[in-house]
Structure 1
Amino acid sequence: MGCKVLCPSVALLAYLMICEHVRAECTPPSFASRNVVLTANHLSTQSFSDGSTVTFECVIGHKPVNLKASRSVTCEQNQWTSLELSCTRKSCGSLADFLNGRYDMTGNLFGDTAKPVCHTGYMLAGKETTRTCRDQGWDGRDPLCEPVKCSAPPALENGQLQDEPLDSYDYLDAVSYRCNTGLNLIGQSTLHCSEDGTFKPDPPKCVDGCLTPTIPNAKRIGGKSPPYKLGNFIEYKCEDGYTLKGDAYIVCKANGWSPEPPQCIAECTPPSFASRNVVLTANHLSTQSFSDGSTVTFECVIGHKPVNLKASRSVTCEQNQWTSLELSCTRKSCGSLADFLNGRYDMTGNLFGDTAKPVCHTGYMLAGKETTRTCRDQGWDGRDPLCESVKCSAPPALENGQLQDEPLDSYDYLDAVSYRCNTGLNLIGQSTLHCSEDGTFKPDPPKCVGKLWLKLGNLQNIFIKHDLYLIS
């Protein structure tokens, strides 16, 4: 006679098979891209139970895009609901021009700055203070711009001003120097009161001959060492890695060096304009440095073509810098691939580097290995594949059962076969299988069993750890 009631020991075993149900919790929510932050009463909480609701507010300097948007989210099944609130930077408005000046502004939103700039002929009184757009508006106040004044110009050793000096000078007022008899004036004889309240350029010098030239990265290879009298000469050569600009041979004359002393300009390193999808032509690839005035040419990298066919492809080394490159290249197009017999392509695009994956129509399958095609420099590689009709071989045999009909050597797509179990056995699973798109029967074949199967219902968060048997 079968057992009708579970004994206490079996009930205990069943209890041990059940895992404790753990209720899901949420971690602190974050919606940084919306410029929001949790309100103060939620900031220190590290976890939130299911059903908890929290509120957000705009970060400092921001305001809601929509005043009616909900500011709350709720923890549901370990996930937070969507947040409607989104905030944008507050506006401080534009700053008006002030007396004898204006503002150079980066914008008028929170965090933007406004730098005061005086009109020509005026200068800031006191230290320059850049204003910033804060949460409550622009900080600081308008500065004061007062007329430029220069104090008396500097004295000249072995020389003097052509006119009597004044106590102060207005903007752009000029003064001129002259040297004592028998000395040469080297530099600019006339200076002007400039916008920063000083005379510019630097005052000249009065010398008996010429000042020693200062030429960085140059070495003297001819002529005498200083001091230099009228008629003395110097010949220069640049150090390795630098190019001479000007004349190497100069002579000391009544008005200074003639011609002007040369310069040694650093050579350029190989240029790179990677963002334009270009590369140096082959004849320049191995060169490691380029002298001032050198010109090089570029071409498109493989798989690319010029955006503008008339754009210049050359750049020139000028003062240790390359000029701008006009040439810019974009990916070549291979065009779209047409559908093929019994199939089509699933394409990522039709430009260089894009791919096209062959997909057979329903009821057909690829003959051979699937090969994805790629857009190359000369067009699409590979060729159209062959999609042939789906065929399934004989279905698998069933232990303790058989097919209801005689098996065939092969089956077409969606052809069906049905199983039955031997007498006294139960069929568990689907009795009917179909020839599927990958050439196999699906679903998995059923089983013929003689045991009693106990099906557990939809129990969430419960785990079975051991097998349970009812013994008759």
Structure 2
Amino acid sequence: MFYSNSWTKCLICLIFIASGNAECPKPQVEGNVVLTNDALLMNDFPEGKEATFECANGYLKEQGSERITCTSGKWSTLELTCKKKDCGAPREKPHLKYEFGEEGTLFGASARAICDKGYQLTGPSYRQCYATGWSGRPRCDVVTCNKPPEIMNGTITEKPGEEFPEYGGVIHYSCNEGYTLIGNKSIECNEDGEYNSLPPECKDVNDIPLKPTATISITTTTSSTVQPTIRDANDIPLKPTAIISTTTSSTVPPTIRDVNDIPLKPTAIISTTTSSTVPPTIRGLRLHLSASLHL
């Protein structure tokens, strides 16, 4: 009986000791935390053993301890919390801007590269926020046009310094002596790499068809009437009158213009006709008696 009781007590002690030294299972990870490399290499986690954690790739420690401890076969609560890394706004470059999505500049977000008008994108259209920062290196290069075309019987009087004009560059033309410029005197390099119009032409002035304009006729009439002169018996004028009629006519022939609507030799033919009518002088009684005496 004594032997039996002693054995029972020893068995209870062994069970207590065994349960107090129970090992913990391999720690489980979830969310944005992971086991460190040292913890991953461990196979046994006896009583009192610690396991260490760290933030996952692309995350940074926000607060809490990275360690947990094995106690009575169970792990303590992990207090470590991590947050996404912020890549910040990409570095500014000339004529380049970015369009961001909902994630903004946080880890995993993407940004679309956009160039200003007259510039074209070189490199990736999108950049990704990785743990090491933004991916890719896009840039915006100015759009260029082909070499300015030459023209017959004319020259380029002004152009940009570079061989291939850049966006906004203007090329000016002029014609040689004896030739007239037809079209635009300048062309400009557009944002699509093309000129905004064809270069002008230089035509011989003798080959340019004439362009007559409408005939303009101007007629001016001036009339002035003076009442007849009435004289008394002593041949003294009582009411002098005169009828004067003046008509002025001016005719301007058509103006001859070239194709650029420039008058060549404006001329004018002006015809003026003036007529004056003075009614007979009416005399009084004295003139009548003199005539009777002669009879």
Bin the TM-score by the shorter chain.
Answer: 0.3 to 0.5
Q: TM-score when scaled to structure 1?
A: 0.29
Higher relative contact order (CA 8 A, sep 6+): 2
User: Which structure features the higher share of helix residues?
Assistant: 2
